[in-house]
Every structure is written in structure tokens, then in C-alpha cells.
Amino acid sequence: MTYYLDLYFTYARLVLKAWSQYRADFAITFVSSILHDGATFIFLTVIFTNIRELEGWSFHEMLLIWGLAVTSRNLANSLLDVPHRIYWYILEGDMDRLMVRPPDPLFQMTGESGITLPALGRVLIGATAIVTALTGLADKLPWWGAFYLPLAIISGALIHFSVQLLMACLSFWFINTISLMQTMSWMYQFGQYPISIFALPLQFLFTWVLPYAMMGFYPTAFLLRGDAYLHYGLLVPLMGPIFLGLSLSLWRVAIQRYQSTGS
């Protein structure tokens, strides 16, 4: 474990050095990432100036749901942005050189191309939304929320990474999985809103199959609505590690099916 942690930080230092050579590019990309989710932040604010509640959820409650989902997703995109790159490693034959090195190929891909520092701008927007929401909900939050929220964010990041990795593993069986992964990535947006506004089949889908609701809605509901969401709320910190275990298990099976391009 120590070996892999040291190696990951070595990769991170190299990425930081590379970006430091192109500071203007980094600044432009960082600001662009802020504007991307910042526009949605502003959109929510404008909408709730005219709508008092959405299915019984107030502006600050909605903002907390959205902020948790955005922070979790972009934390994964900043530090573990590798699943959608697996297809290209296979297609271009770059997997060959990874397979002959001691570290796991997935870990090597994470270090080489999965650390996306400009995406931290979106994490900043999500964190701002969370702080704004907590300020407006201070009188409703339990004391243990300060410990629960970081666990929920970490679990949410693992959920996002794991779902994407599960889809990416199909690249070892099928020629092209890019469209499927893009669809799964887009469906993450359903987790930014109260799950109760969707039909029951979608509620089941986004709770147990693609558990995006565990990234934002259920942590917020557990904090603010207590016993009504007790079981879901307690499951939130566990869902990330559970899906991570499932995705890594499938990865170990999938990597055995890799066939070199011969080029």
C-alpha cells in the first residue's frame, strides 16, 4: 500500500510540473471548468427565486443535493479520471507496455492520464454550493453532519468512478463502448435532484443499479429528514466501497481477456 501511495504522489508531482510549464493553458482550463458548473449554480438560484419549493424541497436543500453530487463527481474526475481512457489504451496498443510493468495497469493509467487538475475548479463550485446550503440550513443540521458529509463525498466519488469503470471493462469484450460510457456519464445528472420527483422504476435504477442518488439526494435526505431515510443514509458511506469492490473484481476478470494489437 505504501508503495502505491508513494507512486501515486510521484505521478501527481509530475502532472503538476507539466501543468506549471503551461500556466496560461492551466488558468484558462481551470476557469472554464468553474464557469461550466458555475452556470448551473446560477441557474438554480434564478429558478428558485420564482419557485419556492420543488416537491417539498427548498432552495438550500436542493443546493445541498446538487453541491454534494457535483463535488463527488468532480473529485473523482480530478483524481481518478481514467475509465473512459481504457478504450483508447486498448485500441492503440498502449496496454502492452503497461502489462509488462510491476504495478497494476489500471493504477498506471490513473497515474499517467487520470489526474486532471483543472477539474478541481468544478470541485470548488460544488464546495461553494455546499457551504452556501449549510449556511441556510444551519438550524436543521445534526451535529454529526460534520463527520457524515466528508464520508458521503468520498463515497460518492468512489461510486462515480466505479460505475464508469464497470462500463469501461466492457471494452475487453466489445469493440466500442464509448457511446455507452457517455450515456452513463450523462445519466449522472439524475442524481442532482430529489429522487422522489422520478417514476418508481427510475428511483430503483438510480438507487441500486446506477446509485447516483447516493451521491447527493440520500445524504441530504438523511441529514434533513432523519428517520424517513435512515437505512439509505446509513448505506451511503458503504455504497462507494461496495461498488469499488465490484468494479475492481470485474476489472481483474476483464484484464485477463486483453489481446495485444500486435503493433
Q: At CA 119, angle to CA 178 and CA 154, rounded to 5?
A: 90
pLDDT at 249: 95
Cell digits of residue 147: 463527520
Q: Give bridge partners of residue 161 from the DSSP assignment.
A: none
pLDDT along the chain (263 residues), means of 10: 80 78 75 77 73 75 92 91 85 83 87 81 90 90 92 96 91 78 79 86 92 94 88 95 95 86 58
Number of helices followed by number of strands (H, E) in the chain:
12, 0
d(CA 260, CA 105): 14
Taking residue 172's Cβ as centre, other Cβ atoms within 10 Å add up to 20
- Strand blocks (E) in 81-148: none
d(CA 262, CA 248): 26
pLDDT at 49: 67
Start-to-end C-alpha separation, the chain: 34
pLDDT at 50: 67
Residue 82 dihedral angles phi and psi, to the nearest 5°: -120, -30
Directed axis angle between helix 2-20 and helix 23-47, to 10°?
100
Cell digits of residue 79: 483524481
pLDDT at 188: 82
The full set of domain ranges for the chain reads: 2-255
3-state secondary structure 156-194: HHHHHHHHHHHHHHHHHCCCCCHHHHHHHHHHHHHHHCC
Q: pTM for this one?
A: 0.89
